[in-house]
Amino acid sequence: MSKKIPLRKCVVSGERLPKKELVRIVKNKDGMIFIDETGKANGRGAYISLTKANIKKAMSKKLFDRVFDTKIDEEIYNELLNYYEEKNS
Protein backbone atom coordinates (compact mmCIF):
# COMPACT_ATOMS: atom_id res chain seq x y z
CA MET A 1 0.00 0.00 0.00
CA SER A 2 1.43 3.37 -0.99
CA LYS A 3 1.76 6.17 1.53
CA LYS A 4 -0.67 9.07 1.15
CA ILE A 5 1.00 12.29 -0.01
CA PRO A 6 -0.37 15.39 1.74
CA LEU A 7 -1.55 18.03 -0.74
CA ARG A 8 -1.79 21.75 -0.11
CA LYS A 9 -3.22 24.57 -2.21
CA CYS A 10 -0.98 27.33 -3.52
CA VAL A 11 -2.49 30.74 -2.62
CA VAL A 12 -1.35 32.19 -5.96
CA SER A 13 -2.11 29.55 -8.59
CA GLY A 14 -4.81 27.64 -6.72
CA GLU A 15 -3.12 24.37 -7.69
CA ARG A 16 -3.14 21.46 -5.26
CA LEU A 17 0.43 20.24 -4.99
CA PRO A 18 2.41 17.93 -2.69
CA LYS A 19 3.27 19.77 0.53
CA LYS A 20 7.01 19.24 -0.04
CA GLU A 21 6.90 21.26 -3.30
CA LEU A 22 5.45 24.33 -1.59
CA VAL A 23 6.83 26.87 0.86
CA ARG A 24 4.80 27.66 3.99
CA ILE A 25 4.36 31.20 5.24
CA VAL A 26 3.14 31.39 8.86
CA LYS A 27 1.43 33.96 11.03
CA ASN A 28 1.89 32.98 14.66
CA LYS A 29 -0.27 34.01 17.60
CA ASP A 30 2.00 37.03 18.26
CA GLY A 31 1.24 38.31 14.77
CA MET A 32 4.74 37.60 13.41
CA ILE A 33 4.82 36.49 9.78
CA PHE A 34 7.73 34.43 8.50
CA ILE A 35 8.87 31.66 6.15
CA ASP A 36 8.49 28.28 7.83
CA GLU A 37 11.23 26.06 6.42
CA THR A 38 10.28 23.10 8.64
CA GLY A 39 6.57 23.25 7.77
CA LYS A 40 5.79 22.60 11.44
CA ALA A 41 5.74 26.00 13.13
CA ASN A 42 2.65 26.87 15.17
CA GLY A 43 0.22 29.31 13.62
CA ARG A 44 -1.89 29.90 10.54
CA GLY A 45 -0.11 28.76 7.42
CA ALA A 46 -0.44 29.62 3.75
CA TYR A 47 1.42 27.85 0.97
CA ILE A 48 3.03 29.20 -2.17
CA SER A 49 4.61 27.40 -5.09
CA LEU A 50 8.15 28.76 -5.22
CA THR A 51 8.46 30.35 -8.65
CA LYS A 52 9.53 33.91 -9.41
CA ALA A 53 6.24 34.55 -11.24
CA ASN A 54 4.16 33.40 -8.25
CA ILE A 55 6.16 35.51 -5.80
CA LYS A 56 5.82 38.61 -8.01
CA LYS A 57 2.08 37.97 -8.39
CA ALA A 58 1.64 37.53 -4.63
CA MET A 59 3.58 40.76 -4.13
CA SER A 60 1.60 42.81 -6.67
CA LYS A 61 -1.79 41.56 -5.47
CA LYS A 62 -0.75 41.60 -1.80
CA LEU A 63 -2.12 38.07 -1.43
CA PHE A 64 -0.65 37.40 2.01
CA ASP A 65 -2.28 40.59 3.31
CA ARG A 66 -5.60 39.06 2.33
CA VAL A 67 -4.81 35.54 3.55
CA PHE A 68 -3.65 36.67 7.00
CA ASP A 69 -6.10 39.59 7.16
CA THR A 70 -3.39 42.08 8.12
CA LYS A 71 -0.98 44.59 6.56
CA ILE A 72 2.27 42.85 5.63
CA ASP A 73 5.67 44.44 5.08
CA GLU A 74 7.27 44.22 1.63
CA GLU A 75 10.11 42.58 3.55
CA ILE A 76 8.27 39.23 3.63
CA TYR A 77 7.95 39.22 -0.15
CA ASN A 78 11.61 40.22 -0.49
CA GLU A 79 12.57 37.40 1.90
CA LEU A 80 10.62 35.01 -0.30
CA LEU A 81 12.48 36.24 -3.39
CA ASN A 82 15.83 35.79 -1.61
CA TYR A 83 14.76 32.33 -0.43
CA TYR A 84 13.84 31.47 -4.02
CA GLU A 85 17.25 32.70 -5.27
CA GLU A 86 19.06 30.59 -2.63
CA LYS A 87 17.12 27.45 -3.51
CA ASN A 88 17.69 27.86 -7.24
CA SER A 89 21.33 28.90 -7.34
Q: How many C-beta neighbours within 10 Å does residue 85 have?
A: 10
Q: One-letter amino acid identity for 63?
A: L
Architecture of domain 7-87: 2-Layer Sandwich (3.30)
Helix (H) or strand (E) holding 8: strand 7-9
pTM: 0.90
pLDDT for residue 23: 95
Low-confidence ranges of the chain (pLDDT < 50): none
pLDDT for residue 78: 93
Angle, to 10 degrees, between the axis of helix 74-87 and the axis of helix 52-61? 180
Helix (H) or strand (E) holding 69: none
